[in-house]
Amino acid sequence: MNKSLNVRIKDIVLRTPLITSSGTSGSRDEINLLVNRKSILESLGAFVTKGVTINESLGNKEPRIVEVRSGILNSIGLQNKGVKRFFEEDIPELRKFEIPIIVNISAGSVNEFGTLSAMIKDLDKNNTVSALEINVSCPNIKKGGAAFGADPRLVEQIVKEVKSSVQNTLCIITKLSPNVSDITQIAIAAIQGGTDALSMINTLRGMAIDTDRKKPILGNQVGGLSGPCIKPVGVYMVYECFKKIPECRNKKIPIIGIGGISNYFDVLEYILAGATATGIGTQWFINTAIFEEILKDMTDYLNNTNETIENLVGKAHNSF
Ligand SMILES: Cc1cc2nc3c(=O)[nH]c(=O)nc-3n(C[C@H](O)[C@H](O)[C@H](O)COP(=O)(O)O)c2cc1C
C-alpha cells in the first residue's frame, strides 16, 4: 500500500482517506458483500456503521427512498436493531474487516446520548470500536435530529456528555447538519465540547411531491437529500470551517468531508477545501466498485503529480 495514502484522525491511522458514510453500507447484506470482496475492504480507511440507538427502531413509514434529479431523498428514520443486538450480531462481523470501525450514534436527548455511549464502552469487550460519530444532524427523527444540530449549546452539551461517558477512551467525531444558517458556529460548539474531529455534511432537508396523486411521495413526507446534487454545499461547508476555525486550519481538528462524492475529483475537491478524509454514501448504491475505482485514480494522481495527501489538505486556501 502506498504510504502517502495514510491519514490520521486523532490517533486512528486510516490506510486510505476513503470511508463509508453512515447508513449507506451498514446492513448485514452489504457487510457480507464487503467480506466477499476483499479489494473493497483494502480500499477503505475505516468503516462507519448505520446509526445505532439504545432501543430497536423500525424507522419511518414507506416509501422511504425516492430518486430525484442528481440525488435521492431518504426518510429511513434510523431503522436499526438497537445497541445490544448490534453488538451481538454485527460487531463480530465488523471485527473481521480489520480496519477501524466507527459507530454512528443517535439519541433523543443529551442524557440518552450519554447512556448510549456508556453502553457501547461497556459492550465493546474486544475494543473493536475505534471512534463514535455523533449524529446531531439526522433530519428524520421527530424527537431530536435537526433540533440538536442547529443549536450550538446543545451540540456542545452532547459532545461533553459523550466524551465523559466513554471516559475519553474513544475518538469522538461530531457529524454536522447542513440545515443551519452558519455551520462554523456549530463546529466551534462541537470543538468547545471536546470533539476530536468533525464530519460534514449530513443530508439536506427536502421533499418531493407526486403530481398525479397530489401528495408527498415519502411516507414521512420530508426526507434528507444526498448524492451529487449536494456536493457543492458540502465542499463549501468544509471550506468555511477550514477557513474560519483555527483548530481546523492548523489541522488539530481534522474534517471528514461527505456529500455527493462520485469520483476521485470530488474527493480531491473536498481535500483541497480542507478535508483530511472523505465519506462516500449514495454513490455506493449505484456503483459498488466506487471505493476501488477512486483508490486507483487517487494513487495514479499522487504518483503522477508527486503530491501527498497531507500537502493537498486545504491547498485551495493558499491562493488567497
Ligand atoms: C439511506 C441513507 C441513510 C442514512 N443514514 C444515516 C445515519 O444513520 N446516520 C447519519 O449520520 N447519516 C446518515 N445518512 C447520511 C449519510 O451518511 C451522508 O452524510 C449523506 O448521505 C451525504 O453523503 P452522500 O451524498 O455521499 O450520500 C444516511 C444517508 C442515506 C442516503
Q: Is residue 135 part of a domain?
A: yes
The atom number, within ligand 1, closest to the CA of 258 reads 23
Expressed in angstroms and rounded, the spacing between residue 175 Cα and the centre of ligand 1 is 10
Q: What pLDDT, on a 0 to 100 scale, did the predictor assign at position 194?
A: 98
Predicted local distance difference test score (pLDDT) of residue 226: 98
Q: What is the secondary structure of 209-240 as a DSSP string?
A: EETTTTEESSTTS-EEEESGGGHHHHHHHHHH
Parent domain of 110: 3-59+77-204+227-317
Cell for 47?
A: 468503516
In a domain, 259, yes or no: yes
* The predicted structure's pLDDT at residue 137: 79
Q: Among 60, 44, 64, 201, which Cα is nearest to 133's?
A: 201
From 137, 202, 205, 255, give the residue whose CB has the most ligand 1 atoms within 8 Å, as the site to mutate: 202
Q: Per the residue annotation, which of 138, 229, 241, 248 is the catalytic one?
A: 138
pLDDT, residue 34, reads 67
Residue 67 is assigned to a structural domain of this protein: no
pLDDT at 140 over 60: no
Specify the pLDDT at position 28: 61
pTM over 0.85: yes
pLDDT at 139 over 80: no
254-265 pLDDT tens trace: 999 999 999 999
To the nearest 10 degrees (0 to 180), the angle between helices 183-193 and 231-244 is: 60
Whether the pLDDT of residue 207 is over 50: the answer is yes
pLDDT tens sequence across 211-236: 999 999 999 999 999 999 999 999 99
In the block, which residue shows the cell 475505534? Answer: 130
pLDDT of residue 211: 98
Percentage above 70 pLDDT, the chain: 93
Secondary structure (DSSP) of 6-73: -EEETTEEESSSEEE-TTSS-SHHHHHHHHH-HHHHHH-SBEEPPPB-SS-B--PPSP-EEEETTEEE
pLDDT at 191 exceeding the cut of 60: yes
Cα gap 148→190, rounded to integer Å: 11
Residue 174 CA to ligand 1 centre (angstroms):
14
Q: Write out pLDDT tens, residues 82-120.
A: 999 999 999 998 898 899 999 999 998 899 999 999 999
Q: In this predicted model, which residue has the larger pLDDT, 160 or 109?
A: 160
Residues 104, 80: Cα–Cα separation, whole Å = 11
- Reported as a single tens digit per residue, the pLDDT across 21-78 is 999 987 566 766 766 778 888 999 999 999 999 999 999 999 999 999 999 999 998 8
Identify the pLDDT of residue 41.
87
Give the model's pLDDT for residue 251.
96
Q: Is the pLDDT assigned to residue 240 strictly greater than 70?
A: yes
Task: Please write the tens of the pLDDT for every residue from 288-304.
Answer: 899 999 999 999 999 99
Q: How far is the CA of 304 from the centre of ligand 1 (A)?
A: 33
Mean pLDDT of the chain: 92
**Helix intervals (H) in 44-182:** 83-85, 91-95, 110-123, 146-149, 152-165
Would residue 138 show up in a list of annotated catalytic residues for this protein? yes
Pocket of ligand 1 (CB under 6 A): 21-24, 50-51, 74, 76, 78, 104, 135, 138, 175, 202-203, 226-227, 230, 258-261, 280-283
Instruction: Report yes or no on 66 lying in a domain.
Output: no
- Split into its structural domains, the chain has a count of 1
How far, in Å, from the CA of 202 to the mean position of ligand 1? 6
Q: How many CB atoms lie within 10 A of CB 315?
A: 14
Task: Say if 212 falls within a structural domain.
Answer: no
| Residue at 104 is within a domain | yes
Res. 4 pLDDT band, cuts 50 70 90:
confident
Question: Residue 164 belongs to a domain with what CATH number?
Answer: 3.20.20.70
In a domain, 172, yes or no: yes
Please tell me the distance between residue 155's alpha carbon and the centre of ligand 1 in angstroms.
19
What's the confidence (pLDDT) of residue 320? 67
Query: Of 282, 286, 294, which is best to mutate to test ligand 1, by the most ligand atoms within 8 angstroms of its C-beta?
Result: 282
220 lies in a domain? no
